[in-house]
């Protein structure tokens, strides 16, 4: 029992570490790219798309770069990011953690952001479970017209075979708050930003988009799938796993 509780604690701490690393500069607590709010302005007229997405984070004075590949779907501010936690590369995550996550059904994770509903979903398909949480105000509120975008061309580069214009982008909110980014706009893909770099609090987050499709994703991708159980918190979800492991599961909270 003590060994199992220790394993649960390690998994929770690892998930918290990943969330802290990959939470976007807007301050959203869930892992994932956070493409609504001011960041959505960087995509210009590309309001719907899907792509492979690799997220990288690195902190000042820290040689470790954490890398997480996934699949992103985006439509009018709504986003869905599918990831395999076992594919994360970082010296901070013990090698045995991937096997432990997989054995408990926690290796696959889907993060959905719904600014229109002011909620986010964190889904674990292997556990048939999900969490729901409110989005921060800056992620949930605001229309495209609430943000002003200023672009300064810095040069031209080729990225994955696509001719790109490297720009410094500054997005200003209605209250005057500014968000700076470096973006590489592909000239042959309707100026889509194939690479975005953002820095806040000495942490750089880089987003690399590949295999881009400029088409509208299905609407059902932005809701939790049918048949999954909703939990009130990570703690209650982990407690339920523990109960099931020992054959004494009780009904999930909120059901």
- How many other CB atoms are found less than 10 A from the CB of residue 238? 21
- The whole-number pLDDT of residue 32 equals 63
User: β-strand 129-134 against 229-231: which pairing, if any?
Assistant: parallel
The reported pLDDT for the residue numbered 143 is 59
pLDDT score, position 4: 44
In this predicted structure, what is the pLDDT of residue 31? Answer: 55
pLDDT score of 3? 45
Full 3-state SS string of the chain: CHHHHHHHHHHHHHHHHHHHHHCCCCCCCCCCCCCCHHHHHHHCCCCEEEEEEEEEEEECCCCCEEEEEEEEEEECCEEEEEEEHHHCECCCCCCHHHHHHHHCCCCEEEEEEECCCCEEEEEEHHHCEEEEEECCHHHHCCCHHHCEEEEEEEEEEEECCEEEEEEEEEEECCCCCEEEEEEEEECCCCCEEEEEEEEECCEEEEEEEEEEECCCCCHHHHCCCCCCEEECCHHHHHHHHHHHHCCCCCCCCCC
Tens-digit pLDDT profile for the chain (255 aa)?
444 444 444 455 455 445 444 554 444 445 567 777 788 889 989 999 999 999 998 887 777 888 889 999 999 889 999 998 888 888 777 777 777 777 777 789 999 999 889 999 999 998 889 999 888 766 655 556 678 999 999 999 999 999 999 999 999 988 898 999 999 999 999 999 999 999 877 888 899 999 999 999 999 999 999 999 999 888 888 777 777 766 654 444 444
pLDDT at 24: 45
Please report the pLDDT score of residue 246 as a whole number.
63
Interacting residues of 251 by C-beta distance below 8 A, sequence separation 6+:
none
CATH 2.160.20 holds for 2-146+197-245: no
């Amino acid at each position: 029992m003590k060994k199992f509780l220790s394993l649960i604690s390690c998994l929770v701490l690892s998930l918290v570490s990943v969330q802290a690393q990959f939470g976007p500069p807007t301050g959203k607590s869930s892992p994932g790219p956070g493409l609504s709010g001011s960041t959505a302005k960087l995509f210009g007229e590309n309001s719907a798309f899907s792509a492979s997405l690799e997220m990288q984070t690195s902190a000042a004075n820290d040689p470790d770069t954490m890398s997480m590949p996934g699949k992103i779907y985006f439509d009018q501010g709504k986003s869905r990011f599918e990831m395999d936690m076992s594919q994360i590369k970082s010296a901070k995550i013990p090698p045995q953690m991937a096997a432990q996550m997989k054995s408990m059904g926690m290796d696959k994770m889907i993060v959905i952001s719904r600014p229109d509903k002011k909620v986010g979903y964190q889904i674990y398909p292997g556990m048939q479970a999900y969490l729901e949480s409110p989005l921060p105000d800056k992620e949930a509120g605001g229309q495209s017209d609430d943000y002003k975008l200023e672009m300064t061309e810095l040069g031209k580069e080729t990225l994955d075979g696509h001719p790109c214009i490297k720009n410094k982008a500054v997005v200003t909110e209605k209250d005057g708050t500014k968000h700076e980014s470096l973006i590489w706009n592909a000239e042959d893909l309707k100026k889509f930003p194939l690479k975005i770099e953002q820095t806040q609090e000495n942490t750089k987050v880089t987003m690399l988009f590949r295999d881009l499709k400029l088409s509208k994703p299905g609407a059902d991708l932005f809701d939790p799938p049918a048949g999954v159980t909703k939990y009130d918190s990570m703690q209650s979800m982990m407690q339920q796993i523990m109960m099931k492991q020992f054959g004494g599961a009780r009904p999930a909270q909120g059901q």
